[in-house]
Chain A
Amino acid sequence: MNGPLALWKRTAAQALPRFGPLLALVLMCAALGVFSEHFLSIDNLLNVFRQSAVNALLALGQLAVIVTAGIDLSVGSILGLSCVLAAMALKAGSAPALGIVVALGVGACLGLTNGLLLTKLRLPHPFIPTLGMMNVARGLALVLTGGFPISELPWGFRYWGAGTLWGVPVPVWLVVASCLLFHLFLTRTTPGRDLYAIGGNRQAALLCGVPVDGRLILAYGLSGLMAGAGAVVLAGRMNSGFPLAGVGAELDSIAAVIIGGASFFGGVGTVLGTLVGALIMGVLRNGLNLLNVSAYWQTVVIGAVIVAAVWVDVVRQRAAARR
C-alpha cells in the first residue's frame, strides 16, 4: 500500500486542489502565448504583474478577513481616501516618507475602526460596518478634494508606484515582499492561525481561549493597512491623489481571493492562491487587450471566471465528500 505509486497518488490528490488555480494560470498563459506572440515576452509579463499589483495588495488584506468568514467592502474607498490624504500631505510640503506613512496610517486606522465597530458594537455581520465605511471614506475623499484630483507628486513618493529596481517595477517587489510576510504571518504565527480557527468555527475558537475580538480587529486593521499600501502604489503610478481611485476595487480583491481557492465560509485560503487569483484577473485583462477584445467584454469574462472558479471548487469538494 505504501509503494511509491500510492505515495505519488496521495501527493497528487493533495496537491491538485492546492495548486489548481496555479495550473489554471499556467494554462491560460500558455494559451495566450499561442494566440499572441507578444504575450509571453518578459516585458509584457512584468507589465501584467505591475498592473495586478494594487489588486494583489488589497487581496492579501482581504484574504486575512475572508479567512475569518468575514468580508471587507471598504478597501476600495479606504484606498481612495488614503490616496487623497497622502497627496494633500505631500502638497503641504511633507517629505515623501511622511506621505507613505500617512497613506499606510490612514488605511490601518480606518481598518481598525472597521474591526472595532464589528466587535465592540456587536454589529451582526462585517458587511454592515465595512459597507458604512465604504461610503464614509469615499464621501470624505470627495469632500476633501471637492472631487478634483491632486496631481504632481514628488518622485520620492511616485517611485513606489512607477519606479523600477534591478529592472523590475517597484510595485512587483512590494507584492512579493507582502506575500512573503503574509504567508509567514498566516502559517507560522499563532495570531495568523487563530484567524483560520475563527473562520472555521468561531464558537469553538472562543471556547479554546482564542481572543476572537482582538484577532478580528487585527484582520480588519491589516486589510485597511494593505489598502493604504495599494494607495501608495496607485497614487505613485497615476502621479495624483484621485478621490475616485479604487472604485470597485473591493470587489476585485474579493474576486482574487475567491478565485484563489479561499472559502467565503471562512477557515480556508492561502497567500499563494490569492496571488494567483490576482494574476489570473490581470492576465485575463491583459490577454484580452492584446487580442483586441473591448474592455466591456473583459468585464463579462471576469464575471464568468469568478463563477466558474467557485463552481469548479464546489464540484471538486462534492467529489471529495463522496469518496
Chain B
Amino acid sequence: MQGPLLEMRDISKSFGGVKALQGVSFEVWPAEVHALVGENGAGKSTLMNIASGVLRPDGGVICFNGRRLEELDPRRAQQLGIGFVHQELALVPQLSAGENICLGRHPAGPLRWVRWEQIHRGARELLEQLGREIDPGRPVSELSVGEQQLVEIARALALRARLLIMDEPTAALSEQEAGRLFQVIGRLKRSGVSVVYITHRLKEIYQTADRVTVLRDGRRVVTAPVDQMPLETLVRHMIGREARQQFPARSSYASRQEALRVEGFSARGCFEDIGFTVRRGEILGLAGLVGAGRTELLEALFGVREPDAGRLWIGGRPVRIRSPRDAIRHGMALVPDDRKTKGLIPGAPVLWNLVLASQRGFLIHTRREQESAAKMASELRLRLIDPEQPASSLSGGNQQKVVLARWLLAEASIFLMDEPTRGIDVGAKAEIYELIRRLAARGAAIVLVSSELEEVLNLADRVLVMHRGRIVGELQAEQASEEAVMRLATGAAQ
C-alpha cells in the first residue's frame, strides 16, 4: 500500500495580523480527485499556494511522495510534479498554444534554434490526450476561456505533473465547457494524476471528486468521501453555526423615493439591456456568477467605461455620466471589486486615501483633514496607529474600511459596492455588513454585488440575478433561497 502523494500537516500561515490558516492538515492520495471547499477567505487558496511553493508556511510539514520538503519554491514544486492551474490564467496571450505549453523550455537544436515542428507535435499530442482538438499554432488570445484552461493543463502535464491543483476552474466556464473539463479530469485520474479541485459550485463535487475537505476560517472542518457527504451537510460544515449570526438582524429601510433608475444599459460583450430602480434606503443585491457582467455594469454606471446605450436617472432627474467625476458630483460612490488595484493608493498615507474623493478647493486644509480622518476612524472602528502610515500597512479589513470611509466623507448617497467583503476576515466582514445596514438606515441607496450568495440574501431587500450580461430574474430576498438564485445565475432556470 502506497502512502499519500501530498501530505500537509499542521500548516499555519498569517498575513499581517490575520490568521489565514491554523494547524490545517490535508492529504491527497495518488489518482485521487480531492475537492477543497469553503467560503471566501476560508484559506483554500492560501493552502494551495503553500502546496505549490508560492507562499511559505509559518509552521507545519509538507511531504510529497513520502519525502519531506524543507524549502519549497514554485520552481522546485514544478520539478517535483506539482502543477497549478490558476484562477487568472497565467498564459502569454500573444504566443501560440504550443509555445505556451513549452514556455521556458523550448526544445532547441544547435545554436539554440527553436524546433517548431517539435513544439507543435508535442503540444498536439498533449492536447489530444485531454480529448480536445486545439490547433497548437493558434495564438492563445483567440481561444475561449475553456480552451485556454486546457492549454494550462497541458502545460502542467508537459512538466510531468503528478498533482494538479485547480483554483476555481469552472468559475468562468459555461455549463457545457465545465462538462468537458470534468471529462478531462476523469482522464487525468485514470492516467494516475491526482487533482485538487477548489470550487464554490458545490454540486460539481459530486460529478468529479472522490473526497472533499471543508475549510472554515483557516481551519479544517472535515474530510470525507463525497458519497458520505450530502449537500446539506456540506453546506452546514462550510457556513458553521456562528457564521449565520454575523449578519445584522433583517430590517428594511427602503423608502418610496427613487434614488437611481437605469434603463436599457448595454455594452457589447459585457451586459445587455439592463434596467432597474433603487430607492433611497434600499439595498439591492446583484447576484450572479463571476463573469456575468456585474463589475462591468457598475463601472459603466459610475462613468469608468462608456456603455453603448442606456439612460440614467438620479433622484428622478435624467443625468449623463461621462466620468467618475460626474458620478461623484451626483452623489454616487463606487467601492471597486479589487481594492489593491482600483481602491487604494497603497504607498500613500491613510489620511490621503481617506480624503481623496472629498477634497475640494485649491489649498489643502491639514487640520480639517485630520479631524475628518479621526471622525471616520472612530465611526468605523478603524484601527490606526497614525494617519500618516501607508495604507498598505493596514489589514485587508481596515483597508476596505478606508475605501468605504472615503465615500462617507464625500457624502455619497448612492453606493455601488462590488464585492465589498472580498478577502477580509470574518470580524471585519461583520462590521462592514453592519455599516452597509447603517448606510441604508440613513437613506442611502445601495447596489450590492457579491459572489457570496449568503451575503446578498441576508443583506439585500431585493435581489436581481444576472446571467451572461442580462438580468434573468428578480427575487424578494426574504423569500429567495440560495438554490433559486443559483438556478437563475447558472442559466438552469431558462
Residue numbers of A with Cβ under 8 A of B are 187-191, 193, 196-197, 200-201, 203-211, 267-268
In the complex, the chain B residue whose C-beta lies closest to that of A267 is: B347
Q: Which 9 A-B pairs have the closest CB atoms?
A: A200-B345, A209-B328, A208-B357, A208-B356, A201-B345, A209-B325, A200-B348, A267-B347, A203-B342
The reply to whether A207 and B364 form a contact with Cβ atoms under 8 Å apart is: no
Residue of B whose beta carbon sits closest to that of A213: B323
A209-B357 contact, Cβ under 8 Å, with A188-B364, A193-B364, A203-B341: yes
Complex Cα–Cα for A200 and B347 (A)? 6
Task: Mark each residue of chain B from 275 to 319: 1 if its CB lies under 8 Å from any CB of chain A, else 0.
Answer: 000000000000000000000000000101000000000000000
The answer to whether A209 and B324 touch (CB under 8 A), given A190-B361, A190-B363, A204-B343, is: yes
Q: Does B352 contact A (CB under 8 A)?
A: yes
Residues of A within 8 A of B336 (CB): 204, 207
B464 CB, min distance to chain A CBs, angstroms: 23
Please, which residues of chain A bring their CB within 8 A of the CB of B53? none
A189 engages B364 (CB within 8 Å): yes
**Is there a chain A Cβ closer than 8 Å to B344's Cβ?**
yes
Interface status of B113 (Cβ within 8 A of chain A): no
Additional pairs, 16, CB under 8 Å, beyond known A208-B328, A209-B324, A267-B345: A189-B362, A190-B359, A190-B362, A197-B348, A201-B342, A201-B344, A203-B341, A203-B342, A204-B336, A204-B345, A207-B302, A207-B336, A207-B342, A208-B357, A209-B328, A209-B329
By a CB distance below 8 angstroms, the chain B residues around A206 are 304, 324
Whole-angstrom distance between the Cβ of B299 and the nearest chain A Cβ = 9
Q: Report the interface size for chain B: residues with CB under 8 A from the other chain.
A: 27
Chain B 322-364: CB-based contact to A (< 8 A → 1; otherwise 0): 0011011100001010000111111110001000110111111
A210 nearest CB neighbor, chain B only = B356
Q: List 7 A-B contacts (CB under 8 A).
A: A196-B345, A197-B348, A201-B346, A204-B336, A204-B345, A206-B304, A208-B406
Contact in complex: A205, B363 (CB < 8 Å): no
Kindly list chain A residues whose C-beta atoms are within 8 Å of the C-beta of B328: 208-209
Give the Cβ gap from A79 to chain B, nearest Cβ, in Å.
29
What's the least CB distance linking B345 to chain A, in Å?
Answer: 4
Q: Which residue of B lies closest to A188 (CB)?
A: B364
Q: Is A196 a contact partner of B302 (Cβ separation < 8 A)?
A: no
A205 near B325 with CB under 8 A, answer: no
Contact of B347 among A189, A209, A268 (CB under 8 A): A268
Residues of B contacting A: mostly: loop
Chain B residues positioned under 8 Å from A209 (CB to CB)? 324-325, 327-329, 357
> In the complex, which residues of chain B have a beta carbon less than 8 angstroms from the beta carbon of A205?
345, 356
B302 touches A197 (CB 8 A): no
Contacting pair A197 B357 (CB below 8 A): no
A152 to chain B, nearest CB (A): 43
Contact (Cβ within 8 A) A207 B324 = yes
Q: Is the CB of A189 within 8 A of B342?
A: no
Asked if A200 and B346 make an inter-chain contact with CB atoms under 8 angstroms apart, the answer reads: yes
| CA A188 to CA B361, docked complex, whole Å | 11
> B347 contacts which chain A residues (CB < 8 A)?
200, 267-268
Contact B345 A188 (CB under 8 A): no
Determine the chain B residues whose CB is within 8 A of the CB of A211 once the complex forms: 325
Q: Which residues of B contact A196 (CB under 8 A)?
A: 345, 348, 352
In the docked arrangement, what's the CA distance between A206 and B304, Å?
8
Q: CA separation between A210 and B328, bound complex, in Å?
A: 10
Most buried by A among B302, B347, B357, B364: B347
B361:A207 contact, CB within 8 angstroms: no
- Give the Cβ gap from B334 to chain A, nearest Cβ, in Å: 6
Kindly state the separation between the CA atoms of A200 and B348 in the bound complex, as whole angstroms. 7
On whether the beta carbons of A197 and B345 are closer than 8 Å, the reply is yes
Name B324's contact: one of A200, A208, A268 (CB within 8 Å).
A208
Chain A residues within an 8 Å CB radius of B343: 204, 207
A204 touches B342 (CB 8 A): yes
B341 engages A207 (CB within 8 Å): no
Contacts of A210 in B (CB 8 A): 356
Is A188 touching B363 in the complex (CB atoms < 8 A)? yes
A207 to B347, CA, bound (A): 17
Across the two chains, which residue of chain B brings its CB closest to A201?
A: B345
Docked pose: A191 CA to B344 CA in angstroms: 18
Closest Cβ–Cβ distance, residue B361 to chain A (whole Å): 7
Interface residues of B in 27-65 (CB under 8 A from A): none
A193 and B352 contact, CB distance less than 8 A: yes
Complex alpha-carbon distance, A203 and B305, angstroms = 12
Q: Across the two chains, which residue of chain A brings its CB closest to B327?
A: A209
Write out the residue numbers on chain A whose beta carbons fall within 8 Å of the beta carbon of B325: 209, 211
| B352 close to A204 (CB less than 8 A) | no
Distance to closest chain A CB from B403 (angstroms)? 9
- A211 vs B406: C-alpha distance in the bound complex, in angstroms? 17
In Å, the complex CA distance between A197 and B304 comes to: 17
Within 8 A of A (CB), among B384-439: 406
Q: In whole angstroms, how far apart are the Cα atoms of A189 and B346 in the complex?
A: 21
Residues of B within 8 A of A268 (CB): 347
Quick one: closest B residue to A197, CB to CB?
B345
Q: Do A267 and B342 have beta carbons less than 8 Å apart? A: no
Per the bound structure, the CA–CA distance linking A122 and B357 in Å amounts to 24
Known contacts A193-B364, A209-B328; is-contact A267 B359 (Cβ 8 Å): no
In angstroms, Cα B60 to Cα A244, docked, is 66
Which residue of A187, A193, A201, A205 has the most chain B CB atoms within 10 A of its CB atom?
A: A201
A residues within 8 A CB of B357?
208-209
Q: Considering the chains assembled together, what is the distance between the CA atoms of A267 and B356 in angstroms? A: 14
List B contacts of A267 (CB < 8 A).
345, 347-348
